[in-house]
Chain A
Amino acid sequence: MTVTAELTQEQLLRGYRTMRTIREFEERLHIEIANAQIPGFVHLYAGEEAVAAGVCASLADTDWVSSTHRGHGHAIAKGCDVKGMMAEIYGRATGLCKGKGGSMHIADFRVGMLGANGIVGGGPPLVCGVGLASKVRGDGTVGVAFLGDGASNQGTFLESLNLSAIWKLPVVFVVENNGYGEATGQAYHQSVADTAKRADGFGLPGITVDGNDFFAVAEAAAEAIARARDGHGPTLLECKTTRFFGHFEGDTQTYRDLSEVTEARASRDCLVSFRARVTRAGLIDAGVLDAMDAEIRQLIDESVVEALAAPFPDASQLTTDVYIKY
């Protein structure tokens, strides 16, 4: 239990809070989408919470993350305002991006959230830039690119591995390998079983961990982030995990045996294993976690109520925040 020993009580509580908030947020969205209250495409992060929470446990507000189309978890873990996020997903004027971004483009530069990204593989080059800025300024900040196993086949990712390696950029690439690029299994879309192996060809460390285990992710990420911060260059961290929902809300998931999900929920739920571990070790009292659960449920309830009550953006907003009207 060296890991648990290294994580402070505060980090543990924050990790749990992050994971629980993501889970509640996503489970609630799943219901609200079924109620047809939410416009557009939504990709839920439930099941993968340990990755975002474990990685962000070692990041400060001044560090940056780039995210994916499945970005709610990263946004919450990086400290985006939950109510602002919910309102954004509902397309309201009170959203984090004034309702102009939506689920796939939630960003808040103030807390180092460089944006969810609708383009698979869009983030890694951007994070190289964050790392470059850090290196030129010498300010010790770190950039983390979250991407999926699907994105790990994109040229942008492979180019970014090379660029970050030759420039020794303070960045970490976190591949959330949930076994599917949209509807296509990793066994088909990728020539290696462990995406992390791809790091070998670019001369940087590649590590594979259990992405459902908060402690495993947090430990590996802490080391990779420290390595980056200390000027030793990038790391590729692969976290094997499971997507509890489909690629998008509305996905009938005919490409997978749903026992995969049932089994993962029963035996590999990061929240369940976290709770068991910290309570068994006597690190956190179950009552504290219960209280936190209730508090988060309340927060998500309020988020939905407030989002629904919020106005849609004014028509004048159509052509603001862009340099030109036409």
Chain B
Amino acid sequence: MARKLSFLLAINEAMHQEMARDESVIVLGEDIAGGAGGSAGNDEAWGGALGATQGLKTKYPNRVLDTPISESAFIGAAVGAAAAGMRPIAELMFVDFMGVCFDQIYNQAAKFRYMFGGNAVTPVVIRTMYGAGLRAASQHSQTLYPLFAHIPGLKVVIPSNPYDAKGLLIQAIRDNDPIVFFEHKALYELEGEVPEESYTIPFGEANIVREGSDVTIVAVGRMVQQSLIAAETLAAEGISVEIVDPRTISPLDEDTIYESVENTGRLVIVDEAHPRCSFASDVGALVAQNAFHALTAPIRMVTAPHSPVPFSPSLEDLFVPSPEKIAAAVRGVMNAKAGARR
């Protein structure tokens, strides 16, 4: 039995191993160590808001930097350090905070290589938490990866399990383009097999999480886990679901999605983001353009509603696409026919 590790510790191990391997890797962010300047005199009191960076400060005191709550300055500093030859990992505690530093990401980091005629690389990784489910309300629960995937030059990575989290993060650190690495806060405790050695998972290579023949589900991040639960229910009903996890939505492994839809003829896309101009709508449009011939039923999207994330548990539970909603959408496409009214 291979070693099991939580999603959180898989991410932690990736950073530990890359810091040991490459001296140009630095880590910066708010309270990634925590405690500096406090009366306890403990310079590693937290190890990150949820502990993802634990142990790094003690081991690499000069390469791990707590920052003031000053996202523009430190995200920008990470970008500048990358331009100057470092491999910074900046932690944007919640992706909801992109609003106070987005310029440094989308106008600076994302554009250097192209705008400077290919004469610059910007190997920065921005790790950030996303997603609903922790009763954190509207400004700490959003799923904002579509906003980043829209920007050419950024790579957008959304691991769904501990194995992928470690391999994709190491790939991200070694990659020469700016990367936004999305970690769903409800996945941190998920355990899975994770090799102890360092390894990389290439970007733009979808994972077929489960093979099936009736319906293709395309999902990322936490929605992969929700879809797996739905697929079990559906299997008991005799519906065979294939789940494709693109792992990175930019670049996107379109071919694997098309191949799967060509095998199943039906597509359900599950996305925790809002429905307009989203990952789900993008995949739907791509399949409609490039694999229309294979469809035997309309494409369905299961997404969050077009509303902010609510606070009350009763409402938040309705906000997140549930296995029940996913299963219902799959049953819907099993019964639907192309050309029929919805």
Is A–B contact present in the complex under a CB 8 A cutoff?
Answer: yes
Binding site for B on A (CB under 8 A): 64, 66, 95-101, 105, 107-110, 114-115, 117-119, 122, 124-134, 136-137, 141, 143, 155-156, 159-160, 162-163, 166-167, 320-324, 326
Give the complex CA separation of A206 and B114 in angstroms: 36
B82-105, CB under 8 A of A: which get 1 and which 0?
A: 111110100000000000100110
Q: Which of A97, A119, A143 contacts B108 (CB 8 A)?
A: A119
Residues of B within 8 A of A (CB): 26, 28, 62-63, 65, 67-68, 70, 72-86, 88, 100, 103-104, 107-108, 111-120, 152-153, 155, 177, 250-251
Distance (whole angstroms) from the CB of B325 to the closest CB of chain A: 30
Contact A156 to B76, CB < 8 A, known contacts A64-B84, A133-B81: yes
Given A115-B116, A125-B76, A324-B152, A132 and B83 contact (CB-CB distance below 8 Å)? no
A159 touching B86, Cβ below 8 Å: no
A241 and B226 CA atoms in complex are apart in Å by 61
A155 touching B72 by the CB < 8 A rule? yes
* A132-B153 in contact (CB<8A): no
Q: Which residues of A contact B67 (CB under 8 A)?
A: 163
Given known A155-B72, A324-B152, contact A126–B118 (CB-CB < 8 A): no
Task: Tell me the complex Cα distance, A168–B111, Å.
Answer: 29
Pick the residue among B65, B72, B118 that contacts A167 (CB under 8 A).
B65
**A155 to chain B: closest CB distance in Å?**
6
The complex places the Cα of A126 from the Cα of B83 at a distance, in Å, of 8
The answer to whether A136 touches B107 (Cβ under 8 A) is no
Q: Provided the pairs A115-B112, A126-B79, A321-B117 are in contact, do residues A133 and B86 lie with their beta carbons within 8 angstroms?
A: yes
> Could you jot down 29 A-B contacts, CB within 8 Å?
A98-B117, A99-B117, A100-B116, A100-B117, A101-B116, A101-B117, A105-B115, A107-B112, A108-B116, A108-B119, A109-B116, A119-B107, A125-B72, A125-B80, A126-B79, A129-B84, A132-B26, A132-B77, A132-B88, A133-B84, A134-B84, A156-B76, A159-B72, A163-B68, A163-B74, A321-B113, A321-B114, A323-B153, A323-B251
| Contact residues in A for B155 (Cβ distance below 8 Å) | 323
| Contact of B103 with A156 in the complex, beta carbons under 8 Å | yes
Please indicate which of the listed interface residues A109, A114, A132, A155 has the most CB atoms of chain B within 10 Å of its own CB.
A132
The distance in angstroms between the C-alpha atoms of A320 and B118, with both chains bound, is 8
Query: A159 near B73 (CB under 8 angstroms)?
Result: yes
Out of B77, B100, B116, B119, name the residue touching A126 (CB < 8 Å): B77
Q: Are B84 and A125 in contact (CB under 8 A)?
A: no
Is B80 touching A107 in the complex (CB atoms < 8 A)?
no
Q: How far is the CB of A267 from chain B (nearest CB, A)?
A: 38
Contact check, B76 vs A124: say whether CB atoms are below 8 A apart: yes
Report the minimum CB–CB distance from B196 to chain A (whole Å).
Answer: 28
Q: Is the CB of A163 within 8 A of B80?
A: no
Q: B118 → chain A, closest Cβ, in Å?
A: 4
A115-B112, A132-B26 known; A162 vs B68 contact (CB < 8 Å):
yes
